[in-house]
Amino acid sequence: MNNIKGVCTQPDSETQKYIFNHTMLRIKDPAVSLDFYTRVLGMRLIRKVDFAEWKFSLYFLAYVPDGTIVPTENGENARYTNNRESVLELTHNWGTETEEKTPYHNGNTEPRGFGHICVSVPNIQEACARFEKLQVPFQKRLGEGGMKNIAFIKDPDNYWVEIVQPGLL
């Protein structure tokens, strides 16, 4: 077992098959958020579930290789979605889309909490140029601040999305 100051860094055999499946963000307007995560960031909507009784919907997005067929039958689709790594769940509480501003805290204004999600891109300069062209708001542009090789863009609800390129420090 590897330890870093008493913290186990190697999982027990009982947890070997656990996977980190998803992170959930609350969103104000699903049309606007789905456009951002699909068109701007290239994710694919792989599952949608409505809960009419409680007036909310869940949208699950992921990076899916070209040619991959996502099951559409509910049980198979749930199994496919819940057996993946790195899924983004967007939760929409019905009616928030009519509010003037987002009712959610992005975690980076006071008080601080949640920070950001991160997307790795093959060429960060090209990705940032594309975000500029699409008029995506930046929190931190490439080359700014102490960490010059990363950027942060903001989604429609002001959540931060870190943009990194493998191999750059």
Report, as residue numbers or ranges, the catalytic residues.
162
Q: What is the DSSP letter of 37?
A: I
Going by C-alpha positions, the residue among 26, 30, 28, 25 that lies closest to residue 45 is: 30
Count H helices and E strands in the chain, helices first.
3, 10
Cα–Cα–Cα angle for 55, 106, 54, rounded to 5 degrees: 10
Q: Is the Cβ–Cβ distance between 48 and 60 less than 8 Å?
A: yes
Determine how β-strand 116-120 pairs with β-strand 138-140.
unpaired
* Dist. CA 159–CA 126, nearest whole Å: 22
Distance of CA 3 to the CA centre of its chain: 30
